A and B are shown apart, each in its own frame.
Chain A
Amino acid sequence: MKTYGELSIDLHGISPEEFGDVAESSASAGWARDRTKDEELKRTGGGAWFTFTLSGHNILPSAFLFVTPKKPGGVLYVSNIISPARDRLNYDEYNQILQSFADSVLVSLRNQKLIDFSLRGTDIDLSALLPHDVFEKLRRFSALANKKTGSSHPLDQERWMDFLIASNESGVELDSNTLARWLVEVEGWEGEQASHLAEEYQFGRGLLQRAS
């Protein structure tokens, strides 16, 4: 299941400002640094900002990509990417823009041993995110449930509640949006039923946490 990726940059003995300068010099394939925006962001919100723009790409929409230090430590990361051409970039667009930035700006800096970087988190694997028994309970519910009626059949309800209780007992952090997306995108539930189950999950977890 796709999600928005995370790109972090380790600096090897150079300051964030020096990174901004060398990244600006190495930028190619439609990427450029926008120093005016950097100054604007510094004035508005404070801190160090390195704004890169992508324009004229043959597939990807134009975009602003923001790099800023992670607090604390000497690591930079991409805090967000926005596009003037879109209300919101979809997962593929966002991750392809991250990859393009890595390829067209960062790779040459890594080759010069000035930085290292990692691009990860572009997929969510619920089977890896959840403890095995919790995931199995969810998978079992989803596989056996009547997808038209959600958790209303007594047997489906029993399996659904087993999953809720197991989630609570193991203290897993699974947000209801991710659950709803998994039900739809991986398990083929209809959006309405998935949203309803996600609401039940959220309510059920809240109730169980309060009771325990």
Chain B
Amino acid sequence: MPTQKSISDIAKEIAGTKLPALVIDTCVAIDIVRCVWRERPRIAGIARQFIDARQKGELLLYAHSALQKEAARNRAEVEGEAQKKARNVDQEMDQYRQAARYLGINYPYVIGHLHESVIPPLMALHDQLLSACVHIIPEERNIAAAFARASDNRRPARKGGGANDCLMFEEFLSIANAIPAADPLVLLTTNPDDFGDKSKGPAVIHQEIADDLVGTKAQICLNWDWAAGIVLSSNRLKSI
């Protein structure tokens, strides 16, 4: 059972320790498993630094209240997809191996190594990140605010859904409003479709979301490197 805390206790913790604080969303956890096939292996390095920084008391890590449930729901599907992509690499390499044999040239990559063997450690890293996070206890006022947000179709809600994204944002907003001077306080989401405004650029936060954060120093980051650059020390960044 992961550690859980209320919004007010989390705000007190951030204000008291003055440490960088990072809240993660569900996509972020899944990104670890799919980092190879999405051509972003660096994510695994950043995730390890987040966990290590948390363990060494340099960083506060939080997860929104629905993350555990959403991660469990997506787990098998993402793991299966990662295994399939890894098997495809082995199959493609085998095609090259066969071509090399027909050509009579050397093909140095051994047949015994399976790329699928990278997936269990990635799954373990995904689980470690979730364990390293303090999970926010859901509160009625944030659930109601998220419902209102979704009903009004305000970002991160869009037509047809987004209630869980709204809950995550309302929880982050509650923390930010409780400690407006906290800096850095970062929400990392890799869901630019709902949080960003692509018509204005690939990394522009949607105005409806940015407006709600006015008066606080809280920031939303739409990719891992962006968040890492804010919450990790320069030594940790160099080591990735």
Contact = CB atoms under 8 A, between A and B. Distances in A.
A202 B162 CA distance: 25
B147 A41 contact: yes
A82 interface: yes
A43 B144 CA distance: 9
A82 B164 CA distance: 11
A64 B162 CA distance: 13
A87 B147 contact: no
B106 interface: no
Contact of A88 (B153, B161, B201): B161
Contact-residue bracket for chain B: 20 to 34
Given A175-B198, A176-B199, A206-B201, A83 B148 contact: no
Nearest to B199: A175
A40 B161 contact: no
Interface majority SS (helix, strand, loop, mixed), chain A:
mixed
B198 A82 contact: no
Interface majority SS (helix, strand, loop, mixed), chain B:
helix
Interface residues of A, number: 31
A83 B161 contact: yes
A82 B152 contact: no
Contact of A87 (B148, B164, B201): B164
A170 interface: no
B151 A66 contact: yes
Contact of A199 (B150, B159, B202): B202
Interface of A: 4, 37, 40-41, 43-45, 49, 51, 64, 66, 68, 79-83, 86-91, 93-94, 175-177, 199, 202, 206
